[in-house]
Amino acid sequence: MSKGIGRLIQFGIAKETVRGTPESAATYWVPFSELDINEKFSLVNDDQSRGVIEDAVGQSKTKEWAEGSVKAPIADKHFPLILYSILGSLSTGDNADSDATIKDHTITVAQSSQHQALSLFIDDPLGAQDYKHGNGAVTSLEISYELNKFLDYTLGLKAKKGATATLTPAATTENRFLPQHLTFKLASSYSGLGAASAMNIKSLTLKIDQNIEDDDVLGSASPSDFLNKQFSIEGTFEALWQNESDYKTAALATTAKAMRLDLKNTDVTIGSAANPQIRIDLAKVIFKEITRPVKVNDLVRQTLSFKAHYSISDTLMISVLATNAVASY
């Protein structure tokens, strides 16, 4: 055991082949800025009457699992695996603009309660012991688009209790995304997003939640699975106030819009002619609130809160296109 700073610890993920059985090694070691994953347990008090006024004579463990969060920059190879895990369905095809080494991965919501499990890996030289966790479930994903920083995300996770392991981290070369790589669009329909004009915003946060429930069963202190239930997406964005027709009219009328968040790193070419890309389309969003706090010496801004809805006509709520040099997930 030794003292040291957090950047000595490394975190990895892999797609789990057999649900609940951790893979032997991580596919991606994620360069995080914050990591808070801990072993959790539940206790029951032995608090029956013993003829004394003291409240308990002991405790027994009834449940054990792991839970926590990770904050890291969005990158073109490992982040689609996280999106695959929380959304649940992925298909892969060739990218039309490049050679066969570059793939387009389309990620959508699977209509099931068992979305893709992850194996989680923690390489910890401070504790002198590495761990791997099976049955990792993404409980929530918050994506942050802000000025003057790498665009990043915060990941909520649950998994089975860690097993000791000997891990050898190996970095993966990935492409990251900056604020200037984002194109934001709104359109009256999902099919109109391609032709819609880009709009100027200051920041945006998107929160995806799949309401995970532990599948606790008799005969085991470990949950048999982590099951996703109702799926929801909400968010907020900030823009300078210009006129009421920008957003206020649609907000007050609860007019549904389609939304596109298109990250494309045009500073980098992959394959012969493609760019790393993660494009998120929301088929139907409705504004929940608009605020416009005014300060006398500041430019007037507006903040809009929105909720994504399932579009019956488009048969989807969210669709993600990820372009990278990963052959398959």
* pLDDT tens digits in sequence order for the chain, 329 residues long: 578 898 999 999 999 999 999 999 999 999 999 999 999 999 999 988 888 988 888 999 999 999 999 999 999 999 999 999 999 999 999 999 889 999 999 999 999 999 999 999 999 988 878 999 999 999 999 999 999 999 999 999 999 999 999 999 999 999 999 999 999 999 999 999 999 999 999 999 999 999 999 999 999 999 999 999 999 999 999 999 987 777 888 889 999 999 999 999 999 999 999 999 999 999 999 999 999 999 999 999 999 999 999 999 999 999 999 999 999 99
Residues forming beta bridges with residue 118, ordered by sequence position: 15, 136
Identity of residue 5: I
Handedness of CA 217, 221, 225, 226 (dihedral sign): positive
Q: SS3 for 248?
A: helix
Residue 273: CB partners within 8 Å, gap ≥ 6? 97, 98
Residue 13: CB partners within 8 Å, gap ≥ 6? 26, 27, 28, 30, 78, 81, 82, 118, 119, 120, 121, 136
Q: What is the pLDDT of residue 301?
A: 93
Q: What is the pLDDT of residue 1?
A: 54
Q: Are strands 212-214 and 226-228 parallel, antiparallel or unpaired?
A: antiparallel
C-alpha distances in Å from residue 187, one per residue of 126, 205, 251, 255, 286? 51, 19, 14, 11, 12
Q: Are 197 and 262 in contact (CB under 8 A)?
A: no
H or E segment at 79?
helix 78-87
Residues 327 and 329: their CA atoms lie apart, in Å, by 7
Q: Are 11 and 32 in contact (CB under 8 A)?
A: yes
